[in-house]
Structure 1
Amino acid sequence: MAAKLNDSDLLELMVLDDVSAFEEIYERYSKSMFLFAMNIFKKKEVCEDIVQNVFIDFWAKRKKANVKQLKPYLFQAVKYQVFNHIRNRKISDEDLTRLIIVDISMSISQKLEFDELQAIIKIQVDKLPTKCQQIFVLSRFQDKSNKEIALELGISVQAVKNQISKALAFLRKNMVLEEGVLYLLFLTSTL
């Protein structure tokens, strides 16, 4: 059942001590977190330790942490563990250089891609019908849950889901960029 839930629902369950929700989060993100760490360290054991430390801390702080977006939170935690590793002098100069290169190159290229994508998405979102646009913005740009949106607008959760589906279908259809590349970053995320 946990595999079908979105990140927000999993976070809510985890705060209530639901171990299966925590396990699902681990299954979804641990591999990509490990690969992110491997891009910096190239040492399997260190990267495994970093990911484990992130999840140990995450579980321990589950009731206190105010996590809005799960994936960015987890990857920021990996980065924090990396810097802890550096601070504790457990990293070579070569690893430190690789970290700086990875961080700078990812930051620049991701920023450029993000800015370009954000501009294109804004143009397309502005073409949505008013209610559909409003719901999509609340969901994707203000990170509100379907339930929060439904309460705020006085409509059913199903109506919110329908409008998000409508917006996603429109955006998928109209988000074709150069050379036919279709950007589906958050367009494919769950309702």
Structure 2
Amino acid sequence: MITEDSRLLKGMKEEDNASFKAVYDKYAKALFFYAHNIIKDRAVCEDIIQEVFISLWSKRKSNTITSLKPYLFQAVKYQIFNHFRNNKFSKEDLTRLNIIDVSMNVSQKLEYSELDQIIRDYVAKLPKRCRHIFVLSRYQHKSNKEIAEELEISVQAVKNQISKALAFLRSNLQLEDAVFLCLVLLH
């Protein structure tokens, strides 16, 4: 089945500017809000989103993207890591993140991957409905409202299930608060 995103990616490979604009229009706002929830600086977030889309366009012919939305959110996440790695932290950043060095060298990428797999294993142990809602929220980057509409439940029910999932993960993973926060928020 050919999805709209697959069609747009194909159009970009064929140098169709309209396809690129459609991808931008579809995802830029959500990516900006995702970045802004972590970095409370509008200009920095705009630069991050611009970098992600510049990279997407410049690599359009060689990309092997199979799922556009997760790819874009992952790209923003790495741009955020790079921002924190390359810039001095503001006092507000230090308070929010409790300073985490995410330099992402090969060893750290491996550690991150291992920790990510551990988290995914625990997510798999959540009750079915709770797991489904958590995955929609953290891995598919859907808003509480979108999840509520999709599952035909209240936004409060979504919030309750996400809180339940986070409490389960926190109690089982026993990670420092800052590390846990980054892993859960940046997914």
Q: Give the structure-1-normalised TM-score.
A: 0.51
Is 1:20 the equivalent of 2:18?
Answer: yes
Measure, in 2, the Cα distance between the counterparts of 1:96 and 1:61.
Answer: 34
Measure, in 2, the Cα distance between the counterparts of 1:32 and 1:178.
Answer: 22
For 1:1-191, list aligned pairs within 5 A: 6-92=4-90, 94-98=92-96, 116-117=128-129
Measure, in 1, the Cα distance between the counterparts of 2:124 and 2:30.
Answer: 20
Q: What is the count of residue pairs matched by the alignment?
A: 118
Measure, in 2, the Cα distance between the counterparts of 1:6 and 1:114.
Answer: 33
**Is the Cα–Cα contact under 8 Å of residues 14 and 62 in structure 1 kept in the other structure?**
yes
Measure, in 2, the Cα distance between the counterparts of 1:9 and 1:60.
Answer: 18
- Matched AA of 2:25: E
CA RMSD of aligned residues (A): 3.6
Q: Which has the larger radius of gyration?
A: 1
Once the 2 structures are TM-superposed, how far is the Cα of residue 64 of structure 1 from its aligned partner? 1.4
Once the 2 structures are TM-superposed, how far is the Cα of residue 118 of structure 1 from its aligned partner? 9.1
* C-alpha distance 42-13 of structure 1, shift in aligned 2 (>3 A): same
Measure, in 2, the Cα distance between the counterparts of 1:18 and 1:112.
Answer: 40
Measure, in 2, the Cα distance between the counterparts of 1:85 and 1:18.
Answer: 31
Once the 2 structures are TM-superposed, how far is the Cα of residue 65 of structure 1 from its aligned partner? 1.6
**Is the Cα–Cα contact under 8 Å of residues 40 and 99 in structure 1 kept in the other structure?**
no
* C-alpha distance 7-46 of structure 1, shift in aligned 2 (>3 A): same
Identity rate of aligned residues, in percent?
47
* C-alpha distance 86-19 of structure 1, shift in aligned 2 (>3 A): same
**Is the Cα–Cα contact under 8 Å of residues 33 and 75 in structure 1 kept in the other structure?**
yes
Structure 2, unaligned runs of 5 or more: 99-115, 133-149, 159-187
**Is the Cα–Cα contact under 8 Å of residues 33 and 78 in structure 1 kept in the other structure?**
yes
Structure 1, unaligned runs of 5 or more: 101-106, 121-171, 183-191
- Matched AA of 1:75: F
Measure, in 1, the Cα distance between the counterparts of 2:47 and 2:24.
Answer: 14
